[in-house]
Structure 1
Amino acid sequence: MPSSPNTVPSAVVLDLTERRVAYFSMEIALSKSLPTYSGGLGVLAGDTLRSAADTGAPILAVSLAHRRGYFEQHLDAQGQQTESDVVWFPEKTLPAASDILSISLQGRELKFRAWRFDVVGVTGHIIPVFLLDSDIEGNTPYDRTLTDHLYGGDNYYRLCQEGLLGLGGIKLLQSLGVKPEVHHMNEGHAALLTIGLLEERLAGAPLRNATDDDAKAIQQQCVFTTHTPVPAGHDQFGLDQMAAVLGHERASTIERFGALHNGLMNMTYLALRFSRYVNGVAMQHGKVSQHMFPEYKVHSITNGVHAATWLSAPMKDLFDREIPEWRHDNQYFRSVYGIDPWKIVEAHTAAKLRLFQTIKARTGVELDPKLLTIGFARRVATYKRASLLFKDPARLEAIAESLGGLQILYAGKAHPADNAGKALIRDVFSAAARINSSKLKIVYLENYDWELGEQLTNGVDVWLNTPLRPYEASGTSGMKAALNGVPSLSVLDGWWIEGCAEGITGWAIEDADDESQEAGNLYAKLEKAVVPAWQSPKVWARIRQHSIAVNGTFFNTHRMLGQYVSNAYFPLSSSVASTDQEIPDEEKIPAVVA
């Protein structure tokens, strides 16, 4: 990073009045060097904006600076996780994008500014991302920390952050002279932008004057994507906190328009109440969300990944030679069927060797590139069941013996406050320590991030996913693997319901009544399907080819963004986005079923 403010580049002058969509997200993965994301949600946001830049979409984005990042993970020999901050200085890295602005929060003035990061597409189109920062002289010491930690602090801290993102984000757009037609809330963290828009519409008149017609007018400007069926993923705050942070007038307005659930302020309900289009992030997740929120029409737009970001360098070189149109149009991945499968194998082998070199440098462990290597890397939460693979260690060892060797790579962070997630990491370490077979090697890699995620999805041979249904809303790591010719072995949930062509793009782990039976199904699929396919190089080469041609063509953010543009942002017919919701009375609030 630059060491002096004098080295910060000037921002390219843009006509922001042409930006028709404002994309709000609490986290966005912008660069490997900036700790502005924690995992899948932020990576998806970054990939969305990279595709927007590639395709010339009229979008800008708003997030927070997160001066101390999410965290850097440290693991001891028993798998005990500890954390440290990842500190960076926006003023030494990015150009300023605004004067000092302020909003009312916690009964006082909160000052903030914005820094700008430019996402540049293949044709030079720029998506400006504005990162709000409250570390301003004149703010209280507490307020100066509000943009320090992503998903840090207690509930009060989180509500203050979300107030700044939503209310401050609208204030920033006003200061820049931008009047987007669409405000896209990427998860409920940004839902308070709806109150900011309502305040803007009332032009200084008190919020108590807001009518249902005013609320419907705000609805027409807002789109909401919900990302999780896990109840803990829907932020809720006590009424006292709501009033203390937002003020009584905003609090009473939120209550009046029905954004409370079970006596709590619920950010998902706030977003639902004020959005004309709502979607889940996979076909199945849309159905689950529709059941959770039956009074609202919930569509589905399946997630994707940005191909140029997640393809390995050897694979990109191959595609540049054989199907160069892929960079601006991902449908050309279908043309992979015209590429010799052995060229795909060679490109993957190069990526695998690079991964193994990284692992040796980090851990000292030397792996064999000729052996089947399974990858399992994701945020560590109990529903993702990282230890399911070790339900029957003897059977797993027998599979390794039959293969002449098996390598399993793990990675993943647990949230600092998630003790159950941290225990899962220790469980994996403990299971690995009990393995008796010299043919089975298990490595847990520390500090799962963009760089490590890229190399793992580039270089392993099979991508394993074992979530508890129906809690995997989508999942994108398997999509990254598929682009690199890596098949998935996964529970049929999230994206894999749509991506699994059995024995062609990968394999499904069948449901069972309990975890032991489901683990048995996992072992059976390894024994009867994955191992025989691996033992036939010709069959495996074709599976690699199918993974790219079938799944790479669809599970990308170029396709995904196109669906947002045509279905959510600027629908071709009014019936597509016919969620002109009635603002329900408080007593009509539906129950969350999850």
Structure 2
Amino acid sequence: MKQLASNTSFQERVRAADNDLTTYLADQPAQPLVAYFCMEHGIAPDLRVYAGGLGMLAGCIEKTASDQQVAMVSVGLRYQQRFVQRLSYGWQHEDWEQTDPEAAGLELIPDLRVHVDLAGERVAVKVWRARVGRVDLYLLDTDVEENPEHLRGITDRLYLGEKEHRLRQEMVLGVGGVRALDALGLTPTVYHANEGHAGFMCLDRVADLVTGGVGIDEAVGIVRASTVFTTHTAVPAGFDLFERGLIEKYYSGWAGQCGVSIDWLMNLGHFPGQPGGEPFNMALLCTRLADYVNAVSRLHREITEQSVLGPLWPGRAAPVRCVTNGVHPRTWTPPQMAALFERYVGPRWDYADAEAWQGVWEIPDDELWRVRQQLRRELVEHVRWYLPRSLRAQGWSADLAWAEQVLDPEALTVVIARRAAEYKETDLLVSDPDRLRALTRGGPRPVNVIFSGLAHPADEGGKERIRRIVEFSYGPDVRANLVYLPGYDMRLAQVLLAGADVWLNHPRRGDEACGTSFMKSVYSGGRILTTADGGADELIVDGYNGWIIGDRTFGASREAMAHNAFGLLEHVITPQFNDRFDGEMPAGWVEGVKQSMATLAWQVSSGPMVDSYQRLYTEAARRARRLTEAARRAPAFV
């Protein structure tokens, strides 16, 4: 550090970066203000308030809103612990570590406490701020000295705990979030609930309006007009459900305040005709209290309209919109590739249009190939550093020299990295061990295969899938070219995405709402091998800008999916990568990389996604103002 401090060139770069940031932050957006609520936020590797794709998407939206000067403020929870994956004989265990908010760059808002009533218990909530460019992310935290121990732990861990604990977390997010924004002097015009976890913020806003003199019907109308709800769930079983007894316990006071019955409230979380004793569905609550409901891919919209939410509108078309997910390009693009885009696509390549992205065809093939070679070699170097340390942490005492020489830096490298949820079929290739073994031992041209991913701590099936992968990877006949890397997080994902030649994505068709990992690989020059699910269904044209596993039908068996994936890897993808008849560079492969970039990079950028949301926000703000003004003129309000 002392050497850098005295380095003139380094000092100039720091000053230039500081000037750029100052200029960037000086351009502050105008109203209307949007409040974006989500249980998780993937902003940076060290800020562990994310678990998976939902959080990564939230981070991409927040960063893009900052870039595009959308007036947005975000709300989430500050989790006191994070889990660290440990392996023992291939089985995942969890170590829980305390998180340090200040070390993660959070600022505590001084002298600010908001309070949330939880069935007669008053919980104090403090507020931390993370600056995401122009967007402030406020994270609520119940670890406050004045709270008794059982209340201090409400914001302990993400997506863990029994149902009542989850309900309390969601009340702190929704109710506490609305009150924190009010205490900060912020008056959002539009509220965006990213998944049903945020639904209680709608109820708190209804109560505020009723308390202020607005009738219940008018209050519901105003909240509906000013709310956007994004659903990311493709199967009904994925929604948050709370038993009637819990809703009565925590929301009887709300019902009395608003002059309605518990049955009236329960109906907000039920389909038409559903018995009143059935569990309360948070996604239905959000759908009933939002005029702007969207799915996150075209296929997801079809499924949502037909089965997931469709019964809410019997006999008529479901008013579900589509905003296909995207990714924040600069978060997921390695510097070497970003430099190429800067030269050949333009300085604003991250939000460039289809015409500008045709500039990738001007990149000299050998230059693009050199960058791809460099990124793959850096990935191999990282694995050779990472794997021995991981094995020692697992208790391996044998000679690990082999682990320091795994993978071939010149070989086709296939990456499968994701949560080990059942529908994602994480261990699909391992289901045919003979073909996988043959693929990785392919004579002079073996294929590197890298697995990574976590199971939810309560997902025993996911842990078993990881165990099967790990056990296979330990085999002496495959371990030179096939590895499993534990500890999958945002930082490791960036390394894997950068070096992957092929990003393998194989969720069961109809179960993935969108998926974004395959989108990120585009910006590193990775090719996409995927099932036709989620966003891939509308974006990937088989053999043109990627490869589709199987056909576009539902219900394919694991055996059929594995057979089709191996067929493409063995007979199409590997031969094309290894086709070097005109020299050391596979010209056909490089052309495919360019084709993928030229046709996908502008579509999978988060720019078009946030543009679509901004149009919804503008429409919602206009309608909300009109309804609010009408309510304020009404005699009951006066």
TM-score relative to the length of structure 2:
0.82
Counting only pairs closer than 5 Å after superposition, residues 116-127 of structure 1 correspond to structure 2 as 116-120=129-133, 126-127=134-135
Residue 374 of structure 1 and its aligned partner are, at CA, apart by 0.5
Residue by residue over 1:396-454, the C-alpha shift from the partner in whole angstroms, topping out at 9 and shown as x without a partner, is: 3334426621111011110000111111101212333457468x721110110001001
Please state whether the residue corresponding to 1:61 is helix, strand or coil: strand
Residue 133 of structure 1 and its aligned partner are, at CA, apart by 0.9
Instruction: Say whether the 8 Å CA contact 1:55–1:328 is kept in structure 2.
Output: no
Residue of structure 2 equivalent to 1:63: 76
Counting only pairs closer than 5 Å after superposition, residues 57-206 of structure 1 correspond to structure 2 as 57-69=70-82, 71-76=83-88, 78-90=89-101, 93-97=105-109, 99-120=112-133, 126-203=134-211
In structure 2, the CA distance between the partners of 1:175 and 1:506, relative to structure 1 (3 Å rule), is same
Number of matched pairs: 552
| Segment of structure 1 superposing worse, 42-51 or 339-348 | 339-348
Residue of structure 1 equivalent to 2:605: 556
Instruction: Say whether the 8 Å CA contact 2:125–2:144 is kept in structure 1.
Output: yes
Residue of structure 2 equivalent to 1:252: 262
In structure 2, the CA distance between the partners of 1:345 and 1:326, relative to structure 1 (3 Å rule), is farther
- Where does the alignment leave 5 or more consecutive residues of structure 1 unmatched? 1-11, 121-125, 576-594
Residue 344 of structure 1 and its aligned partner are, at CA, apart by 2.0
Which structure is larger by alpha-carbon Rg, 1 or 2?
2
Percent identity for Structure 1 against Structure 2: 32
Instruction: Say whether the 8 Å CA contact 1:371–1:406 is kept in structure 2.
Output: yes
Alignment of 1:357 with 2:381, yes or no, is: yes
Counterpart among 304, 308, 312 of residue 334 in structure 2: 312
Instruction: Say whether the 8 Å CA contact 1:483–1:551 is kept in structure 2.
Output: no
Counterpart among 322, 326, 337 of residue 344 in structure 2: 322
Alignment of 1:272 with 2:287, yes or no, is: yes
Distance in 1 between the 2:29 and 2:127 partners? 15
Letter of the 2:508 counterpart? L
Alignment of 1:485 with 2:525, yes or no, is: yes
Distance in 2 between the 1:368 and 1:486 partners? 17
Please state whether the residue corresponding to 2:481 is helix, strand or coil: strand
- Where does the alignment leave 5 or more consecutive residues of structure 2 unmatched? 1-24, 256-260, 389-402, 580-585, 624-638
Instruction: Say whether the 8 Å CA contact 1:301–1:563 is kept in structure 2.
Output: yes
Counterpart among 420, 423, 434 of residue 464 in structure 2: 423
Residue of structure 2 equivalent to 1:342: 366
TM-score relative to the length of structure 1:
0.88
In structure 2, the CA distance between the partners of 1:517 and 1:16, relative to structure 1 (3 Å rule), is closer
Counterpart among 302, 306, 309 of residue 293 in structure 1: 309
Distance in 1 between the 2:237 and 2:463 partners? 17
Distance in 2 between the 1:305 and 1:345 partners? 24
Distance in 2 between the 1:15 and 1:301 partners? 25
Residue of structure 2 equivalent to 1:591: none
Counterpart among 26, 35, 58 of residue 22 in structure 1: 35
Residue 259 of structure 1 and its aligned partner are, at CA, apart by 1.3
Residue 357 of structure 1 and its aligned partner are, at CA, apart by 1.6
Distance in 2 between the 1:156 and 1:573 partners? 34
Residue of structure 2 equivalent to 1:226: 231
Letter of the 2:90 counterpart? G
Instruction: Say whether the 8 Å CA contact 2:340–2:363 is kept in structure 1.
Output: no
Residue of structure 2 equivalent to 1:407: 448
In structure 2, the CA distance between the partners of 1:436 and 1:254, relative to structure 1 (3 Å rule), is farther
Residue 101 of structure 1 and its aligned partner are, at CA, apart by 1.2
Residue by residue over 1:453-496, the C-alpha shift from the partner in whole angstroms, topping out at 9 and shown as x without a partner, is: 01111101101111112101111110011121111111110111
Please state whether the residue corresponding to 1:324 is helix, strand or coil: coil
| Segment of structure 1 superposing worse, 329-338 or 310-319 | 329-338
Letter of the 1:59 counterpart? M
Distance in 2 between the 1:129 and 1:574 partners? 25
Residue of structure 2 equivalent to 1:54: 67
Please state whether the residue corresponding to 1:185 is helix, strand or coil: strand
Letter of the 1:475 counterpart? G
Alignment of 1:432 with 2:473, yes or no, is: yes
Please state whether the residue corresponding to 1:447 is helix, strand or coil: coil
In structure 2, the CA distance between the partners of 1:572 and 1:257, relative to structure 1 (3 Å rule), is closer
Please state whether the residue corresponding to 1:260 is helix, strand or coil: coil
Residue 553 of structure 1 and its aligned partner are, at CA, apart by 1.1
Alignment of 1:570 with 2:618, yes or no, is: yes
Residue 139 of structure 1 and its aligned partner are, at CA, apart by 1.2
Letter of the 1:570 counterpart? T
**CA RMSD for the aligned pairs?**
2.4
In structure 2, the CA distance between the partners of 1:160 and 1:432, relative to structure 1 (3 Å rule), is same
Distance in 2 between the 1:483 and 1:345 partners? 14
Please state whether the residue corresponding to 2:108 is helix, strand or coil: coil
Distance in 2 between the 1:430 and 1:231 partners? 34
Letter of the 2:234 counterpart? P
Instruction: Say whether the 8 Å CA contact 1:224–1:275 is kept in structure 2.
Output: yes
Residue by residue over 1:268-294, the C-alpha shift from the partner in whole angstroms, topping out at 9 and shown as x without a partner, is: 011000001111111101111111212
Residue of structure 2 equivalent to 1:582: none
In structure 2, the CA distance between the partners of 1:55 and 1:437, relative to structure 1 (3 Å rule), is closer
Residue of structure 1 equivalent to 2:575: 532
Please state whether the residue corresponding to 1:85 is helix, strand or coil: strand
Residue of structure 1 equivalent to 2:8: none
Distance in 2 between the 1:392 and 1:15 partners? 55
In structure 2, the CA distance between the partners of 1:385 and 1:449, relative to structure 1 (3 Å rule), is same
Instruction: Say whether the 8 Å CA contact 2:327–2:519 is kept in structure 1.
Output: yes
Residue of structure 1 equivalent to 2:246: 241
Distance in 2 between the 1:414 and 1:325 partners? 39
Letter of the 2:57 counterpart? L
Instruction: Say whether the 8 Å CA contact 1:393–1:435 is kept in structure 2.
Output: no
Residue 199 of structure 1 and its aligned partner are, at CA, apart by 1.2
Distance in 2 between the 1:254 and 1:337 partners? 60
Please state whether the residue corresponding to 1:325 is helix, strand or coil: coil
Instruction: Say whether the 8 Å CA contact 2:514–2:533 is kept in structure 1.
Output: yes
